[in-house]
Amino acid sequence: MLSGQGSNASFSAVVQSVQVTGRRNRIDVSNTNNGAVFTAKDLAKLPVRQTLNSIVLLAPNTTKGDSAYGNTASFGGSGQSENAFYLNGFPITNSLSQLGAMELPFGAIQQASVMTGGFGAEFGRSIGGVLSVTSKSGTNTWEAGATYSVQPNGLRAKRQNVYYPVTGDKNNVDTDANLTTLGQAGFNSNRSWDNRWLGKLDWNINDNHRLEFTSAGNSSRTRYQRYGFALNPNNPNALAALDGTPTGNLYTSVTGKNLGATDPAYPNGTPGAVLNMLKYTGQITDDLAINGLYGKMKTERGTSYEIGGVYQGSAGGLPPTIGTVAKTSQWSEIDPNLYRNYNVFPGNRATPGSDEVKSGRLDIEYKIGTHLLRAGIDSSKMETRGAGNSSSGGCSWTYRFVGIGNANQPVPLSGSRPAVVSNFGGSGVDGYYARQSIFSSITDASATQSAQYIDDKWQVTPKLLVTAGIRNDAYSNSNGDGQKFIDMKNEIAPRLAAAWDVNGDASSKVYGSAGRYFLQLPTGVAARAASRSTLTTQDFTYTGVSPTDGTPMGNNPINAPISVDGEYGTLKNLRAVVMADLKPNYQDEITLGCEKAHGPDLNFGVKATYRKLGAGIDDSCDTRPLYAFALAHGIEVHNTLFINCFIYNPGKDVTVWGDGHDVNGNPLVTGKGQFAHFTAAEIGEPKAERTYAALDFFLEHPLRQGWYGKVFYTLSRSRGNMEGQTRSDTGQKDVGTSAAWDFPEFAPGNNGLLPNDRKHQLKAYGFYQITPEWSAGANVLIQSGRPVVCLGTNDAADQGKDPAFLIGIAYGGPGYNAEYFNCGGVARPRGSMGRLPWAKRLDLNLVYAPEYAKGLSLKVEVFNALNGRSPLSQTAVYDDGDSTVIDSRYNQLTTFQTPRSAKFTVEYNRKF
């Protein structure tokens, strides 16, 4: 029986003899899950890249998400972090970000069930979809095999200044992938290794009891290399035209391991892991079965750096980033040749860390009369080490000049604090000083998840099957100090499904489902939101500049460190960072469909899906209401920026703790702290909305007369003001805490077609057995493009001058620059800018399995055979803070379809 599908059952009187005639029924009249199931044979016949995400994308109602989140799939309009992944019942979803899962060797997959909706009470922790993978099991005979694959560079399509050397894939254990690009910083050459393995030991204790031990691993490693290049001396515009040749001199190198999509500098890795699990299956009686499992999964991740062939270790071992302030109305230009930057890896970087999941579950199945009762419990504990990011090199320095004649005058420095720089000697006598900036959100974190469910699969009549169930989820998140800042309980999720075998012969069915689904927050949300974090600036005069790393020497502090939002590395008051009555993130869904077998050669059907987000979770940095509350209640406060952001439900009333801070932003316990209650109108944010509506049509030719084929067409719309936990508009890495809901000024124009909306989708796949030795397969995707977005600066709102937001006039605007659906002073609502072009892809394969060498197969696959080059994303930022000056990168196409490539595979399997 296929996982994710049902089996026809009849609980009527026992029949003494059965005569079977005709063909096997092609419609599963007991299944109400939406999606698709792929067996090992299916995956071997189809041209599909060997990733779990590629399997998911074969199913209807799925689309590739934004590259900032690792190109993981969106199910039914959901965010990319809202899905669940299982291997043999164990949750393998990445716990840090919930973006994707560890990869598996394709040769070990027995079956992959893609559930895009309508799934029963045994599945939870997803408002997107579920991928449940079952691995192959051992038999009483030995079987061995090997696979070797290669992707020749000569058969790859090329774009301008993009080159694709050889890629190798050996038995799904070692995958080398190269991507070389030319830029003004040099030639970038990336090489990746993706090692996968899986072993499974089955012990049949007796006919009724079995133990299964599964051990699986996936290690993803990418080396990002940058080489120097020589400009073409005959081209005066060689640098601008990128006209040069590699010199072969390695400039820098970064190696990332199991980074997943969480590192801001290197977002497209795979969150590899090592998993060990033990599962027990017992058939206690003919009517009672028990399943239990327990396992542990751990991911070790991190980056290491090289400069000029010298190993630097992690980002903390790099020199600080050095910068200068160019000439503006306030600052005179500083000679960049004097103040050199020795850190070629600037910005915020991740630190080495780990993510561990320990999980267990117990399921019981009992048959009584016409009822099949199922119940179960599960519990998981997640531990994360080293979540968050920090300044590369530990800090950054910017060299500044107060201007000619201003050295002896008070001038505003960091935090708008005035000072006379000459009073501090050294460089200050001539008006020069240096500003140190420190940022770190590095922290440990933990989370727990548990659930109980029960459902009843009731064969009401021989033609009608009804499944009713209920699930109770709970989860909690704790910060680096072990303090629980989110504690969700009693997430009651009812599920109801029905399937009607219209004619009683499994030739046609009508089915439907309705249910509520909940979603938890990843462990990474603790970073900065609820854990200790540091974001400070401080000014110094100096007596010299280090010739080895460019940092100032002989420093004399002008002022104390100051934080614009009270981040001093101290313990946060958790009552102030999470609203007191936070509601869980949930979604309601209803589906209705019908299928019919029109003779032995054709099945067809249609299904409608409607999803509606019930509540969303994000963070708000609009602390102006809290500031006003503090002033009204005599609590000492000095600046709205010194108050922490807080996690809340957009569009709901908010109750959050308010207390004071000193003139430098240090938190104070004033004795007057208290809970402040604000209505949704006082907060000013609209309710979080997301609706997804879809019509799915399919045609299927069952495997007959040597060929199989299936075609899906989906007409859908994903609309609202919240994509989900991810924010594809800007690719912000903070899953669950984006900038989109920080201030109510960002709301106008935000409600419309969401990033994962694809109005039209046509998917088709199939294979043809040409002869007993030769077969061919194809996989087709045609879909409309992603909605284009424009985010600009609304000068009036950003500066606190918009009369529609009186609180901004009273206490200042957001100051976020390009975060508004307003570009060049013109409103650009979501969905009003058109779409990117259609994307079209055709994948083909040809397989030769000679009869004279049983177990041997030779395969050639061509991906994107027509070399479609459609863009998949664009830069949404219109300006850099001045609404009248268009950013040169605006509307730049950032990612494209993967160019055409070919892959040759030799596989041999033998049974002994």
Q: What is the pLDDT of residue 32?
A: 81
The pLDDT-based confidence of 158 (bands split at 50, 70, 90) is low
Average the pLDDT over each of 160-164, 534-538, 644-648 and give the range with the smallest value.
160-164
Average the pLDDT over each of 20-24, 37-41, 64-68, 76-80 and give the range with the smallest value.
20-24
pLDDT tops 90 at residue 528: no
Rounded-to-integer distance, Cα 66 and Cα 80, Å: 8
Residue 155 token pair: 């058969």
The pLDDT-based confidence of 336 (bands split at 50, 70, 90) is low
Mean pLDDT (whole number) for 469-480: 97
pLDDT tops 50 at residue 183: no
Residues 6 or more apart in contact with residue 685 via CB below 8 angstroms: 620, 650, 651, 741, 744, 747
Q: What is the pLDDT of residue 156?
A: 66
Locate tokens 């005058």: which residue?
Answer: 409
Residues 6 or more apart in contact with residue 307 via CB below 8 angstroms: 251, 252, 318, 344
More confident residue, 104 or 237: 104
Average the pLDDT over each of 118-127, 249-258, 455-464, 646-655 and give the range with the smallest value.
249-258
Rounded-to-integer distance, Cα 105 and Cα 75, Å: 23
Mean pLDDT (whole number) for 391-415: 91
Burial 400-409 (b: 16+ CB within 10 A, else e): bbbeeebbee
Average the pLDDT over each of 403-412, 455-464, 612-621, 782-791 and give the range with the smallest value.
403-412
Average the pLDDT over each of 185-189, 518-522, 719-723, 838-842 and give the range with the smallest value.
185-189
Question: Strand pairing of 396-401 and 321-324?
Answer: parallel
**What is the percent of the chain with per-residue pLDDT over 90, rounded to a whole number?**
70
Average the pLDDT over each of 175-184, 419-428, 627-636, 832-841 and give the range with the smallest value.
175-184
Rounded-to-integer distance, Cα 252 and Cα 486, Å: 42
Q: What is the pLDDT of residue 314?
A: 83
The pLDDT-based confidence of 326 (bands split at 50, 70, 90) is low
Q: What share of the chain is helix, strand, coil (3-state, %, to 5)?
A: 10, 50, 45
Mean pLDDT (whole number) for 162-175: 28
Q: What is the pLDDT of residue 696?
A: 98
Mean pLDDT (whole number) for 893-904: 92
Mean pLDDT (whole number) for 44-73: 94
The pLDDT-based confidence of 717 (bands split at 50, 70, 90) is very high
Q: Is the distance from CB of 342 to CB of 320 less than 8 angstroms? A: no
Mean pLDDT (whole number) for 806-826: 94
Q: What is the DSSP letter of 173?
A: T
Sign of torsion, CA 749 752 754 758? negative
pLDDT tops 90 at residue 266: no
pLDDT tops 50 at residue 16: no
Q: Is the distance from CB of 79 to CB of 723 less than 8 angstroms? A: yes
Mean pLDDT (whole number) for 288-292: 98
The pLDDT-based confidence of 647 (bands split at 50, 70, 90) is very high
pLDDT tops 60 at residue 17: no
Mean pLDDT (whole number) for 654-677: 90
Mean pLDDT (whole number) for 814-830: 95
Mean pLDDT (whole number) for 845-866: 94
Q: What is the pLDDT of residue 623?
A: 93
Beta bridge partners of 590: 514, 610
Rounded-to-integer distance, Cα 129 and Cα 115, Å: 6
Average the pLDDT over each of 15-29, 65-79, 734-748 and give the range with the smallest value.
15-29
Rounded-to-integer distance, Cα 249 and Cα 228, Å: 6
Rounded-to-integer distance, Cα 251 and Cα 349, Å: 19
Q: What is the pLDDT of residue 217?
A: 95
Q: Is the distance from CB of 411 to CB of 519 less than 8 angstroms? A: no
Residue 534 token pair: 């540091």
pLDDT in tens, 675-693: 999 999 999 999 999 999 9
CA dihedral 133, 138, 142, 146 (to 10 degrees): 10
Label residue 226 exposed, middle or buried (CB < 10 Å: 0-12, 13-18, 19+).
buried
Report the 10 Å Cβ neighbour count for 854: 11
pLDDT tops 80 at residue 155: no
Question: Strand pairing of 130-135 and 84-87?
Answer: parallel
pLDDT tops 80 at residue 890: yes
Q: What is the pLDDT of residue 222?
A: 86
More confident residue, 178 or 909: 909
Beta bridge partners of 432: 401
Q: What is the pLDDT of residue 89?
A: 96
pLDDT tops 50 at residue 165: no
Helices (H) and strands (E) in the chain, counts: 8, 54
Question: Which string of DSSP letters, residue by residue, matches 370-403?
Answer: TEEEEEEEEEEEEEEEEESEEEGGG-EEEEEE--
Rounded-to-integer distance, Cα 789 and Cα 833, Å: 6
The pLDDT-based confidence of 451 (bands split at 50, 70, 90) is very high
Q: What is the pLDDT of residue 723?
A: 97
Q: What is the pLDDT of residue 27?
A: 86
pLDDT in tens, 547-594: 889 999 999 999 999 887 778 898 999 999 999 999 999 999 999 999
Average pLDDT over all residues of the chain: 88
Q: What is the pLDDT of residue 71?
A: 83
More confident residue, 111 or 156: 111
Give me the phi and psi of 841, to 5 degrees please: -145, 135
Q: What is the DSSP letter of 839?
A: E
Locate tokens 């327990």: which residue?
Answer: 294
Q: What is the pLDDT of residue 245?
A: 76
Residues 6 or more apart in contact with residue 356 via CB below 8 angstroms: 95, 296, 297, 298, 299, 382, 383, 384
Q: What is the pLDDT of residue 180?
A: 41
Mean pLDDT (whole number) for 454-462: 96
Q: Where are the beta strands (DSSP E) in 659-804?
A: 660-661, 667-668, 674-678, 690-704, 707-720, 752-753, 760-769, 774-783
More confident residue, 663 or 167: 663
Q: What is the pLDDT of residue 873?
A: 93
CA dihedral 781, 74, 693, 31 (to 10 degrees): 80
Taking Cα atoms as reference points, which of 377, 588, 370, 355 lies closest to residue 473? Answer: 377
Q: How far are the Cα atoms of 44, 107, 645 from residue 85, in angstroms, in the given order?
A: 21, 18, 32
Rounded-to-integer distance, Cα 229 and Cα 238, Å: 11
The pLDDT-based confidence of 306 (bands split at 50, 70, 90) is confident
Q: Is the distance from CB of 720 to CB of 689 less than 8 angstroms? A: yes
Q: What is the pLDDT of residue 20?
A: 36
Rounded-to-integer distance, Cα 504 and Cα 655, Å: 56
Beta bridge partners of 93: 101
3-class secondary structure, 534: strand
Locate tokens 């801001």: which residue?
Answer: 264
Residues 6 or more apart in contact with residue 663 via CB below 8 angstroms: 638
Label residue 832 exposed, middle or buried (CB < 10 Å: 0-12, 13-18, 19+).
middle
Residue 854 token pair: 């049983």
Sign of torsion, CA 666 667 670 673? positive
Q: What is the pLDDT of residue 334?
A: 63
Q: What is the pLDDT of residue 157?
A: 63
Q: What is the pLDDT of residue 161?
A: 35
pLDDT in tens, 369-395: 999 999 999 999 999 999 999 999 999
Q: How far are the Cα atoms of 56, 313, 439, 555 from residue 32, in angstroms, in the given order?
A: 18, 52, 50, 70
Q: If you average pLDDT over each of 24-28, 398-402, 759-763, which comes out highest?
A: 759-763
The pLDDT-based confidence of 23 (bands split at 50, 70, 90) is very low
The pLDDT-based confidence of 805 (bands split at 50, 70, 90) is very high
In 90-237, where does DSSP find H-type helix? none
The pLDDT-based confidence of 464 (bands split at 50, 70, 90) is very high
Average the pLDDT over each of 25-34, 67-76, 510-519, 848-857 and give the range with the smallest value.
25-34
3-class secondary structure, 155: helix
Residues 6 or more apart in contact with residue 348 via CB below 8 angstroms: 264, 389, 390, 391, 392, 439
Mean pLDDT (whole number) for 627-647: 91
Q: What is the DSSP letter of 326?
A: P
Rounded-to-integer distance, Cα 391 and Cα 441, Å: 9
Q: What is the pLDDT of residue 335?
A: 64
Residue 869 token pair: 């080059």
Mean pLDDT (whole number) for 69-95: 95
Helix (H) or strand (E) run with residue 40 in it: helix 40-45
pLDDT in tens, 344-365: 888 888 889 999 999 999 999 9
Q: What is the pLDDT of residue 55?
A: 97
Residue 647 token pair: 């996690």
pLDDT tops 60 at residue 497: yes
Mean pLDDT (whole number) for 841-869: 95
Q: What is the pLDDT of residue 849?
A: 94
